[in-house]
Structure 1
Amino acid sequence: MKKNFSLTPVALLVGALAFLPTHSNAALPVQVDGQEMPSLAPMLEQATPAVVSITVAGTHEVKQGQDPFKFFFGKRRGQQPQERPFRGLGSGVIIDAKKGYVVTNNHVIDEADEILVNLKDGRQFEAKKIGSDAQSDIALLQIKAEDLKEIKIANSDDLRVGDFAVAIGSPFGLGQTVTSGIVSALGRSGLNIEQLEDFIQTDAAINSGNSGGALVNLRGELIGINTAILGPSGGNVGIGFAIPSSMMQNLIDQIIEHGEVRRGVLGITGNSINAELAKAMDLDINQGGFVSQVAPKSAAEEAGIKAGDIIIEVNGRKVRSFNELRGKIGSIGAGKTVELTLIRDGDKKEVEVTLKAAPDANIAAANLHPMLKGAKLSSNTKGSGVVVTDIAENSPAAAVGLTKGDIIAGVNRVRVDNLAALRDALVEIKGVVALNVIRGNTELYLMMR
């Protein structure tokens, strides 16, 4: 990356500007000492068409005050949760032009009933939510459009502190805006912004509305999805955070394949190594994830990991804390094999671990069809079909007739083996939808419009 960008012309530019006439008609030189002026414009001309702005609208439930008579009389008949409309703005990145896939943050489109994607060329399209993951704050949308421009995705594992970074997004609804800076830190975690954190920190200005936008390198390749800022009143103070592109790619691949994130787990609990713990345990290392307990029959136990081990690398990449370890493992899918480097009794060891599925692998069914709102679905691990793992009282899904434990086996006489197949089947249907449901030993059809 640095071979294509020299700092020398910048220093020359400063010297040249000092001797320019001060009146407004003075023209900047095209060259200084025979060298072209440095500019990000050629790169941005290629990258910015792949970055979009996102407008959302919807309603969300508002908690009501406590009813003093509820203790005596229970919930009054007809009492409904209060809903209030909301509108929001964010950004997104086109990662697949042919399929119209757009990546953004989950918090940008969460609970939205209407999602509009606005391209740099002025076109606007309604987007469909393919899937999302609240723990890592990633969501995948799809639009139907021609002549889209996709962004090339770089391997964020190759980043170093000090690498140049450029943030592209639509802050404050102003329209597409570009800011620049450097990678300030890697593997940031423990910020309590998301449940799974492994952030890139940058001083490229990120503000409200930038969420879901692109963090790119000087080649215009995606290195991260801009997600959060740290500053008073939501303003930029040079500390912004982005989800690494490699983490994003792992999660999106799972959503595309399965319709959900099938998160892999090690089955350990622990703490981050610090000076106090290192002294108490007489350790010669000050960074890593300390394993305090290994769950029975877990992936970690099967791989031979023991309490007292210190995990320092995942697939050859350093791990500085237990939170960073959790973030890296949490973005890798169930069934995938990872190589861990650990310290045991002062000796370095490498072990291969095949991650097991997280026990709560299910998604909100509203992502698939509005009439399924209120249900949670999971691919059937004991056979084919999709299991209704939970259903909310008085929800649209309950009104359709779905109950907890139902297995959706087909849609309009088309068999569905898993969540991905159910999603694909529902995308193609316009009008009445007939769900083929297995309930115990009974087969029935439920109609949705």
Structure 2
Amino acid sequence: MNKMSVLISSVLLTSSLALTSLPAQANLPFSVSGQKVPSLAPMLEEVTPAVVLISVRGTHEVQQRNIPDAFKFFFGNPRQQNPTRERPFQGLGSGVIIDADKGYIVTNNHVINEADEIQITLKDGRQIEATKIGADESSDIALLQVDSKNLTAVTIADSDKLRVGDFAVAIGSPFGLGQTVTSGIVSALGRSGLNADNFEDFIQTDAAINSGNSGGALINLRGELIGINTAIIGPNGGNVGIGFAIPSNMVKSLVDQIIEFGEVRRGVLGVSGRSVTGEFAKAMELEGAQGAFVEQVVEDSAAQIAGIEAGDVITKVNGKRIKSFSELRGKIGAIGAGNEVKLSVIKADGDEETYTVVLKKAETANVEPASIHRMLEGAELENNSKGFGVAIKAVEADTPAAMIGLRAGDIISGVNRHRVTNIAELRDYLKDNKGISLLKIIRGNTNLFIRIR
């Protein structure tokens, strides 16, 4: 056998061995020189219509710089030291259709933040105006809705089953070039620390992610959504093989809360602490070098009620091991208030115990009343904790909600002849009514109707 024959045999053998290690869902649509060649094209042809381009327009306030005192009069109050003015902006990003029937699209909050106009461009070229349903700045998730037929939605995978080394494919519209697909692997799990104020539990991947990919899909080889691309590390915003995605389980939990309540009702554990490092574990005589060390438990918090104490080390959340306090914070922050969570804890005496904790509600809220109906803008809404209906917590003066006569303490109990149980039902009924609607209001011991259009 000559050298050329040996080389060809070696190449064919290598190709054959590579094929045997491919996942079962990989497609083998054609052959070259008698050898089948793997391709992701058939899977992508089904999934890519679910990934959209998002174009936004809006205005935001910017500070004037280096304006002499003599000219500040022309920019408003002459005594104002830092005058501002509105500046128009445009932006591009990506989004993922998660419900074709209801037209729900998930993206990053930073993609659509402060936008006055949101336009969706589908892969087939259709352009549709989108409505913002709700958003959560702390986790960088936003939910949009479009009214259109023949949409394609992606299936959501269980991101808790991901392992480092799993294949990953990123889909988005970098630099406004149009839909682009890149591939790589899951490089790490449970990443945090990009923004200490946010709730982070990122998937790290080396699939190329660039500016414009934000809000796009990270999928597995089955075409299932495993994450929403959100951030990169790289000079000048360029890709260097370190990208981050919000896990699909976290996305689903947050989106479900936005759909039901119009806001993220973030669960609160009620502990403060630090990550367990090797040096810290040695000082505390801990066998493991990972987890969340509890330094303080807030009085009457969910953690205290469950029995968690200062000095405990939380090692697992719902059976899944955590590496740091930031990861604990991110996972708890994605679980809604009132839900149960199982925490595995190493006690001070070294024993391991499991606690079932019912999370309490965070004090902050992020309702988007205008996304339900324009005449509700200025009202602070929440589901009525004392029964059915939507409670009006507060009404801002000189807003549409104030002008139609809504008051703090009112309960919206119905729309036309439909009983309203929660914010999600209120949104659905008002969305379907294109003309005049009547809000049934309970005000103290009185029932009344308020007309909106």
TM-score between both structures, scaled by the size of structure 1? 0.85
Note the alpha carbon deviations across 1:371-422, whole angstroms, 9 max, x for none: 3334432222233333333454544444444454444444446443322222
**Aligned mates of 2:175, 2:113 — CA distance in 1:** 19
2:48 corresponds in structure 1 to 48
Match 2:198 to one of 195, 199, 206? 195
The answer to whether 1:388 aligns with 2:392 is yes
**Aligned mates of 1:398, 1:136 — CA distance in 2:** 31
**Residues 136, 366 of structure 2: 8 Å contact kept:** no
**Residues 9, 32 of structure 1: 8 Å contact kept:** no
The 5 A counterparts of 1:368-447 are 368-392=372-396, 394-412=398-416, 414-438=418-442, 446-447=450-451
Match 1:95 to one of 95, 98, 115? 98
Corresponding letter in the other structure for 2:382: S
Note the alpha carbon deviations across 1:226-259, whole angstroms, 9 max, x for none: 1111112211111111000111111122222333
Classify 1:396/1:61 alpha carbon distance in 2 versus 1 (closer, same or farther; 3 Å): farther
For residue 283 of structure 1, give the secondary structure of its aligned residue in structure 2.
coil
**Aligned mates of 1:441, 1:314 — CA distance in 2:** 45
Q: How many percent identity over aligned positions?
A: 64
For residue 325 of structure 1, give the secondary structure of its aligned residue in structure 2.
helix
1:266 corresponds in structure 2 to 269
The answer to whether 1:133 aligns with 2:133 is no
**Aligned mates of 1:84, 1:444 — CA distance in 2:** 43
Corresponding letter in the other structure for 2:44: L
2:356 corresponds in structure 1 to 352
Corresponding letter in the other structure for 1:366: A
Match 1:229 to one of 228, 232, 241? 232
The 5 A counterparts of 1:68-87 are 82-87=85-90
The answer to whether 1:214 aligns with 2:205 is no
**Aligned pairs, number:** 423
**Aligned mates of 2:307, 2:64 — CA distance in 1:** 51
For residue 257 of structure 1, give the secondary structure of its aligned residue in structure 2.
helix
**Aligned mates of 1:228, 1:422 — CA distance in 2:** 34
User: Which sections of structure 1, spanning at least 5 residues, go unmatched?
Assistant: 1-7, 16-29, 70-74
2:242 corresponds in structure 1 to 239
1:60 corresponds in structure 2 to 60
**Residues 97, 153 of structure 2: 8 Å contact kept:** yes
Note the alpha carbon deviations across 1:177-230, whole angstroms, 9 max, x for none: 001111111000121076110000111111111111100111111111111111
Classify 1:277/1:395 alpha carbon distance in 2 versus 1 (closer, same or farther; 3 Å): farther
**Aligned mates of 2:55, 2:196 — CA distance in 1:** 22
**Aligned mates of 1:309, 1:380 — CA distance in 2:** 36
Could you say what the CA RMSD is over the residues aligned between the two structures, in angstroms?
3.2
**Aligned mates of 2:301, 2:14 — CA distance in 1:** 57
The 5 A counterparts of 1:277-288 are 277-288=280-291
2:188 corresponds in structure 1 to 185
Note the alpha carbon deviations across 1:269-313, whole angstroms, 9 max, x for none: 111112343244332221111111222222212221111110111
**Aligned mates of 1:128, 1:10 — CA distance in 2:** 54
* Structure 1, 356-365 or 301-310: larger mean CA deviation: 356-365
TM-score between both structures, scaled by the size of structure 2? 0.84
**Residues 406, 439 of structure 1: 8 Å contact kept:** yes
Note the alpha carbon deviations across 1:30-89, whole angstroms, 9 max, x for none: 6456421222212211211111111122233445689989xxxxx969x99743332221
Corresponding letter in the other structure for 1:371: M
For residue 38 of structure 1, give the secondary structure of its aligned residue in structure 2.
strand
**Residues 169, 221 of structure 2: 8 Å contact kept:** yes
Corresponding letter in the other structure for 1:356: K
**Residues 271, 298 of structure 2: 8 Å contact kept:** yes
* Structure 1, 129-138 or 312-321: larger mean CA deviation: 129-138
For residue 178 of structure 2, give the secondary structure of its aligned residue in structure 1.
coil
1:290 corresponds in structure 2 to 293
**Aligned mates of 1:376, 1:210 — CA distance in 2:** 33
Corresponding letter in the other structure for 1:250: S
**Aligned mates of 1:240, 1:9 — CA distance in 2:** 34
User: Which sections of structure 2, spanning at least 5 residues, go unmatched?
Assistant: 1-10, 19-29, 71-75
**Residues 362, 377 of structure 1: 8 Å contact kept:** no
Corresponding letter in the other structure for 1:119: L
**Residues 364, 374 of structure 1: 8 Å contact kept:** no
Corresponding letter in the other structure for 1:421: E
Corresponding letter in the other structure for 1:349: E
